[in-house]
Amino acid sequence: MPAHYIWLFFAILTETLGTTALQASQQFTRFWPALAVVVFYGLSFYCMSFALRAMPVGIVYAIWSGLGIVLIAGIGFVLFGQKLDMPALLGLALIISGILIIHLFSASNTH
């Protein structure tokens, strides 16, 4: 697997952890989760910068944000008891479909 995909994976992972910590921070009223938000988002953008060495910013951001949305929806369901109705699930499936189309068929996914 090319290094830029590994960096993108870590960018998505740390962004997801940061957003999970954002929920746990209760609107930045709890110190440790709020600190985790800042640290994880900083790490996410740092990792994303390495993915940008080989991939265009639009593609990186589409994959980063799309997979982040899907992962956060799953985490919200499992950890925070947030419900996902059929339109939400359909929307998440469309996001995944879009990411797969970019990855599998687009010549724009690398410089």
Q: How far apart are CA 104 and CA 89, in angstroms?
A: 22
pLDDT of the chain, 111 residues: tens digit per residue: 899 999 999 999 999 999 999 999 999 999 999 999 999 999 999 999 999 999 999 999 999 999 999 999 999 999 999 999 999 999 999 999 999 999 899 888 776
Number of domains within the chain = 1
Q: How far apart are CA 111 and CA 107, in angstroms?
A: 9
Q: How far apart are CA 82 and CA 92, in angstroms?
A: 15
User: Whole domain around residue 36: which residue ranges?
Assistant: 3-109
Q: Are 14 and 44 in contact (CB under 8 A)?
A: yes
- Neighbouring C-beta atoms of residue 68, cutoff 10 Å: 20
Claim: this prediction has a pTM higher than 0.85 = yes
